[in-house]
Every structure is written in C-alpha cells, then in structure tokens.
Amino acid sequence: MSKKIKLIAIEGSDGSGKATQTELLAGFLRQNNFKVGRISFPRYDGTPAGRMLFEFLKSSRASEYDFVNSNPKLASRIYAQDRFESLEYLQGLIKRNDVVIFDRYVESNLLHQGGKLKSDVEILNFANWLYDLEYNQLGIPKPDVTIYLDLPPEVSYARALKRAQEKGESPDAVESDMEYVRNGTKAGRLYADFFGWKIIQCVVPGQNSALSAYELSPEEIHMKIREIVLKK
C-alpha cells in the first residue's frame, strides 16, 4: 500500500453507511500497522458553526428555520465555517497519523446544496465556487481519494427514517424531505462521475425481472472499499 494516500473521504447518500464504513476501514488499516485518524463533519459539538448546524438540522426548532430551502451558497458557508474552525485540530490529526478518514467532508456540501440547483451547468458551477472557497480561500486540505456510496433515494430515505426511529430521535430536517434526498442523490451521481470519485453501488439490480434488487451488506461494501484503497 502506498503511503501517498493520506486523506480518504467517504461520501454518499443518507443511510448509505458512511460511519460504519469509516469504522471498518480504520480497523483494517490499523491491523496493517497504519496510524489512523477519523473525523466526521459537521462537528455538532466541536465548533460554533457545528452547534449552529445542529440547531438548524436537529433541534426541536429545526422546522422553524426551513434550512432545506436556504440559499445553497449561504448554507455552504456555515458548513465551510465548521471545517475552517476545525482546521487546527484537523492539521494535528493529519500530522499524527499515516491516514485520516473523513466521514463526510467538503463533498457532502456538494451533494446537499448542489441538489437545490436545477440544471447540470448550475450544479457543476456550484462545485467550482465551493472548491475555491474551501480548498483555495480557506486552505482546507484536499482528500487524496473520495469514495462515493451510491444508494437509490427511496432506500436512502427509508434507512434514514429507520435509523432515527431506532435511536429514539427525530430525523433531521434534510433526511425527512424526500424531494431533497432525491435531488441530493442526483447531484451526488453527477459530481461522482464528473470528478472521478470511486463509486460503489450499494444496491445491485436484479439480473432479470424475476429477481429483486440486492442490497450489499456492510461487509461486502467494506471489501470493495478495501480493494480501492489497496489499488492506491
């Protein structure tokens, strides 16, 4: 395995298992004697902007803010602020470890906010604006590889609701909006193709009309991620 791969971003639809895959990949790398750091964004308890996002998305007052319909560039600045406020912590994490794995990163901003835009041209222009803001102006470190867990929006929506129910929580403002989830998935697929992210199809279509689609297990997805990382 080449040590040139330092920063790995795991992205994907809500409910696609990003946190699980981050944990599995970290465990695999540690078994192979790599020092591994992990970080998840937004940092709801870690930064002022993170706490602001928690208020907008997960608090009992979330519906009052209508964050789902907020201007994508204005919303993105809050997510970018969360990462900028985390920059010193993140730089230390990178310095202390061989590999750092992001469970949601800058690219999550593209999925969620780019999905608010209509045309492919608008969606891609938004990416240029956001990348300039975060990677150039704010100096946020770029991932060496981005892995995109592709999940049909209907499955993503159902999993997010089930996960919230199992935790005894209300789904956040974006997870509970089916149209938002559908648009975010469309944007995510466009970005993944355009920027050459490593795409893993988490639901495999049946080979004929008599066979239903097959959902990959977390272990099967992990093996695909492992293969991507080993190739690098």
CATH number at residue 187: 3.40.50.300
Q: What's the pLDDT at 208?
A: 52
| 203-204 and 99-103 strand pairing | unpaired
pTM: 0.90
Taking the CA atoms of 39, 201, 192 and 183 in sequence, report the sign of the dihedral they define.
negative
Which pLDDT value is given to residue 211?
59
Phi and psi angles of residue 155, each rounded to the nearest 5 degrees, phi first: -70, -40
Q: Within the chain, which residues score under 50 in pLDDT?
A: 1-3
Residue 207: per-residue pLDDT: 58
Q: In what order do the strands lie in the sheet with 198-201?
A: 36-40, 99-103, 7-12, 145-150, 198-201
Report pLDDT for 46.
95
Nearest to 31 by CA among 222, 232, 162: 222
CA-based radius of gyration for the chain: 17
Q: Is residue 1 part of a domain?
A: no
Distance (Å, whole) CA 82 – CA 220: 32
Can you give the pLDDT at residue 163?
Answer: 80
**Quick check: is 49 in a domain?**
yes
Pairing of strands 145-150, 7-12: parallel
Residue 192 placed within a domain: yes
DSSP 147-194: EEEE--HHHHHHHHHHHHHHTT----TTTT-HHHHHHHHHHHHHHHHH
**32 touches 1 (CB < 8 A):** yes
Domain range enclosing 17: 7-231
pLDDT at 136: 98
- The pLDDT of residue 2 is 47
**Residue 2 within a domain:** no
Work out how many domains the chain is built from and give that number: 1
Q: Are 197 and 11 in contact (CB under 8 A)?
A: yes
The confidence score (pLDDT) of residue 63 equals 87
* Strand runs labelled E in the chain: 7-12, 36-40, 99-103, 145-150, 198-201, 203-204, 214-215
Supply the DSSP symbol for 67.
G
Q: Are strands 198-201 and 7-12 parallel, antiparallel or unpaired?
A: unpaired
pLDDT for res 110: 93
